[in-house]
Amino acid sequence: MVLRTSFRQLLLLAFVLTAAALGAVSLSGLQALQGLMAKSREAAQQAVVLNLAVSGLGDRATDMERAARQYLVLGDPALRQRYDAAVREARNAMQPLVDFEPTATQARHWLSAAGQIRRLLDDAGLGSPERDQALSQGFDQLGEGTRRLTVQVQRSIAERNQAVQDALESQRARLVRQVAVAIVVVALAALAFGLWLTRPLRQLGRAITALGEGRMAEPVEISGPSDLARLGHQLDWLRRRLIESDADKDRFLRHTSHELKTPLAALREGASLLQEGVGGPLSAGQAEIVGILRHNTAVLQQQIEDLLRYNAAAFDAQRLQRRPTRLRSLVEGVVEAQRLSWQARHITVDVSGGERLEAPVDPDRLGMALGNLMINAIRFTPEGGTIRWRLWREGEQAALEIQDSGPGVAEPDREHIFDPFFRGSLQPENQPRGSGIGLSIVREQVAAHGGSVALQPGPGGASFRILLPLGDTRTPRAPHV
């Protein structure tokens, strides 16, 4: 089913979801951090208050004891009021300790002991020794209570700090888990989105490859976002148009060749009849004109056949049947197929290198290209000359080079040597003039294999080098149709 959402919208949605997931984790971590910071501030403030409260208890207990003993000796009411004022200050200062649950019980005991001392001061029925002993016990209790409060405050502060540290560590571990889960979720979501969104792209790639390889019978069907589906429809429209164009071109060439060959055959037949004297004897001038007519009609017929052959070769180059092929064996087969031609002219042919060189090629099509190069080299190599084939590996490519000992290629002709129907200025003597499509067919076949062919610079005969990919390429270069 074709989705209404476009590829761009889906990609934007993927980015938004990814940002939302990471943002949620970041916000959660920030909130937790703010909560821990608030607890830490609260604990620090409480620790300061408790330390201040407990740190003054010792001095106040000393002031209370001094005022109480002086009061017993001197009996001055001002000293008694001083003791009461010290108790009130201690009660006010200890309020944070009373409100703090871990120290509340001990703080109340301390205040109770201070109140019991006050009652001893008011008890006139006790003698001096008993009162002194009771006061000493009471103040000893205050001192012990102060020590216990100090220890408890320190322990409570340490426990609160440890609790904050534990909470911080727990939150850190929780945040790490959240981040890890978010990363995994985002990665899986990105992978899912990537696989889902790249599937139509792979379909497009396969469709373009099929069009490039000339597999026009396969319809283009792209499933996925709406814009990519529309692109698939456009590619399928292009496929149908290419089919129609190829059919129109073939039909045009067939009709044109037929329409040209019919009157051309009549012209050749008429010229032959004239030359044979069927219409009466010809003068020398008339015989020369008839000879010119026969020669040019033969040349024209050959050009028509060359055009059809070039078109067929370019069409066939788009339909390769690849299989792993030993390139040296292919070259040796081409050399052997032309043995009679080069032996008749006493030409030496040497093949070297590439014993283990193998590439995924169509041996028939590539063999046709190599055969054209071999025919071209035989044609331009003088009698007793030499043709050398060399094969080697060049990185991820296979290199094939053929060099003859002929006149080479003129400098002005080098850039046009692969053009269809181009004939160089340096033509061999006593050889029929070539059609000019042999090297064009070589370029078509090599380009269809994803390779390249080039005329190498240098003095001496012509040297052509072919580079072919060693990997199994499914996207050949576009033929030069």
| pLDDT tens track for 438-467 | 788 888 888 888 889 998 887 778 899 999
pTM recorded for the entire structure: 0.45
The answer to whether residue 13 scores a pLDDT higher than 90 is no
The answer to whether residue 212 scores a pLDDT higher than 60 is yes
| pLDDT tens track for 266-282 | 777 777 777 777 767 77
Give dist(CA 441, CA 411) in Å, integer.
22
Average predicted confidence (pLDDT) for the chain: 77
- The topology (CATH level 3) of 11-187 is Four Helix Bundle (Hemerythrin (Met), subunit A) (1.20.120)
| pLDDT tens track for 282-292 | 777 777 787 77
Write down the domain spans for the chain: 11-187, 245-316, 323-469
| pLDDT tens track for 52-64 | 777 777 777 777 7
Q: Which pLDDT belongs to residue 267?
A: 75
Q: Which residue did the predictor score with more confidence, 469 or 220? A: 469
Q: Which pLDDT belongs to residue 303?
A: 64
Q: Which residue did the predictor score with more confidence, 477 or 375? A: 375
The answer to whether residue 190 scores a pLDDT higher than 80 is no
To the nearest whole percent, how much of the chain has pLDDT over 90?
A: 11
**Overall average pLDDT of the 232-248 stretch:** 79
Q: Which pLDDT belongs to residue 479?
A: 38
- The topology (CATH level 3) of 323-469 is Heat Shock Protein 90 (3.30.565)
Q: Which pLDDT belongs to residue 478?
A: 37
Q: Which pLDDT belongs to residue 254?
A: 66
| pLDDT tens track for 409-442 | 887 778 878 877 666 656 666 655 556 677 888 8
Q: Which pLDDT belongs to residue 8?
A: 67
| pLDDT tens track for 49-108 | 777 777 777 777 777 777 777 777 777 788 878 877 877 877 887 788 778 888 788 878
Under the banding of pLDDT at 50, 70 and 90, the label for residue 124 is low
